[in-house]
Amino acid sequence: MSVELYAHNRTAYAAVRRLLGQKGRAAVIHPTGTGKSFIAFRLVEDEPYARFLWLSPSEHIFKTQIENLRRSEPAFPGDAIRFYTYARLMLMDEKEMEQLQPDYIILDEFHRCGAQIWGAGVDRLLAACPAAKVLGLSATSVRYLDNQRDMAEELFGGDVASEMSLGEAIVRGILPAPKYVTTVFKYQQDLEMWQQRIDRAKSRGVRDNAQKYLDALRRALEQADGLDVIFQKHMTDRNGKYIVFCASVEHMRQMRGHVPEWFGGVDARPHCYTVYSDDPGTSKAFASFKADESEHLKLLFCVDMLNEGVHVPGVSGVILFRPTVSPTIYKQQIGRALTAGDTATPLILDVVNNVENLLSISALQEEMATAIQRMYLSGEGGQIVTERFEVIEQIRDCRELFRALHNSLTGTWEQYYQAASAFYAEHGHLRVPKKYVSNGLCLGSWITTQRLVRSGRQAGRLTPEQIAKLDSVGMVWENRLEAAWERNFRYAEAYYREHGDLLVPVKYETEDGFKLGKWISNLRDQYQNGEKRTVLTPVRIQRLNEIGMQWDVHSVRWEQNYLEALRYYREHGDLLVPAEYKTDTGFNLGAWIRNLRQTRQGRSRQRPLTAEQIARLDTIGMRWTYRDRCVRQNMEQSSYTSA
Residue 310 and residue 68: Cα distance in Å, rounded?
A: 10
CA distances from residue 431 to 250, 415, 472 in whole angstroms, order as listed: 35, 18, 14
| pLDDT grade for 238, boundaries at 50, 70 and 90 | very high
**179-393 has the same fold as 7-164:** yes
CA atoms within 13 A of residue 445's CA, in its CB half-sphere? 14
Closest CA to 258 of 164, 346, 186, 191: 186
Asked whether the beta carbons of 9 and 38 are under 8 A apart, the reply is yes
Residue 476 and residue 544: Cα distance in Å, rounded?
A: 23
Per DSSP, what are the bridge partners of residue 244? Answer: 301, 319
For residue 67, give the amino acid letter: E
98 phi, psi to nearest 5 deg: -60, -30
The CATH code belonging to domain 7-164 is: 3.40.50.300
Residue 263 and residue 299: Cα distance in Å, rounded?
A: 10
The runs of H, that is alpha helices, within 180-223 are 188-200, 204-223
Closest CA to 143 of 167, 109, 170, 168: 109
**What is the tens place of the pLDDT at every residue in 578-601?**
988 998 878 899 999 998 988 888
- CA quadruple 46, 49, 53, 56: dihedral positive or negative? positive
CA distances from residue 274 to 226, 302, 331, 338, 427 in whole angstroms, order as listed: 24, 6, 21, 21, 55
CA atoms within 13 A of residue 477's CA, in its CB half-sphere? 14
CATH class of the domain defined by 179-393 = alpha beta
Count CB-CB contacts under 10 A for residue 153: 14
C-alpha 113: how far from chain center: 13
CA atoms within 13 A of residue 562's CA, in its CB half-sphere? 20
Closest CA to 290 of 273, 270, 267: 273
Does the pLDDT of residue 230 top 70, yes or no? yes
C-alpha 43: how far from chain center: 28
DSSP category for residue 238: T
**What is the tens place of the pLDDT at every residue in 37-53?**
999 999 999 998 999 99
The runs of H, that is alpha helices, within 73-202 are 86-89, 94-100, 116-128, 151-156, 166-171, 188-200
Residue 589 and residue 25: Cα distance in Å, rounded?
A: 40
For residue 444, give the amino acid letter: G
The whole-number average pLDDT for the span 160-180 is: 89
- Residues 58, 63, 65, 69, Cα dihedral to 10°: 170
Count CB-CB contacts under 10 A for residue 348: 23
Highest mean pLDDT among 79-88, 300-309, 448-457: 79-88
For residue 390, give the amino acid letter: E
**What local confidence, expressed as pLDDT, does residue 628 receive?**
47
| pLDDT grade for 530, boundaries at 50, 70 and 90 | low
Lowest mean pLDDT among 61-70, 213-222, 359-368: 359-368
Closest CA to 98 of 140, 134, 126: 126
**What local confidence, expressed as pLDDT, does residue 265 receive?**
93
Does the pLDDT of residue 639 top 50, yes or no? no
Closest CA to 593 of 608, 583, 578: 578
**What local confidence, expressed as pLDDT, does residue 359 receive?**
47
The runs of H, that is alpha helices, within 29-181 are 37-46, 59-72, 86-89, 94-100, 116-128, 151-156, 166-171
**What local confidence, expressed as pLDDT, does residue 336 receive?**
64
Highest mean pLDDT among 212-226, 547-561, 583-597: 583-597
* Domain chopping of the chain, boundaries: 7-164, 179-393, 412-472, 480-546, 553-642
- Residues 545, 548, 549, 551, Cα dihedral to 10°: 100
**What is the tens place of the pLDDT at every residue in 343-369?**
678 888 888 655 555 545 556 777 888
| pLDDT grade for 534, boundaries at 50, 70 and 90 | low
Q: How much of the chain, in percent, has pLDDT values that exceed 70?
A: 82
**Element spanning 398, H or E:** helix 396-410
Asked whether the beta carbons of 228 and 394 are under 8 A apart, the reply is no
Cα angle, residue 221 at apex, residues 219 and 223 outer, rounded to 5°: 70
Residue 495 and residue 491: Cα distance in Å, rounded?
A: 6
**What local confidence, expressed as pLDDT, does residue 16 receive?**
96
Residue 134 and residue 642: Cα distance in Å, rounded?
A: 57
**What is the tens place of the pLDDT at every residue in 240-278?**
999 888 877 788 888 899 999 999 999 999 999 988 765
- CA quadruple 61, 64, 66, 72: dihedral positive or negative? negative
For residue 368, give the amino acid letter: M
Closest CA to 23 of 117, 115, 136: 136
Per DSSP, what are the bridge partners of residue 317? Answer: 242, 347
CA atoms within 13 A of residue 50's CA, in its CB half-sphere? 20
The whole-number average pLDDT for the span 527-541 is: 69
**Element spanning 455, H or E:** helix 443-455
For residue 98, give the amino acid letter: E
**What is the tens place of the pLDDT at every residue in 465-496?**
888 888 888 887 766 667 778 888 889 988 88
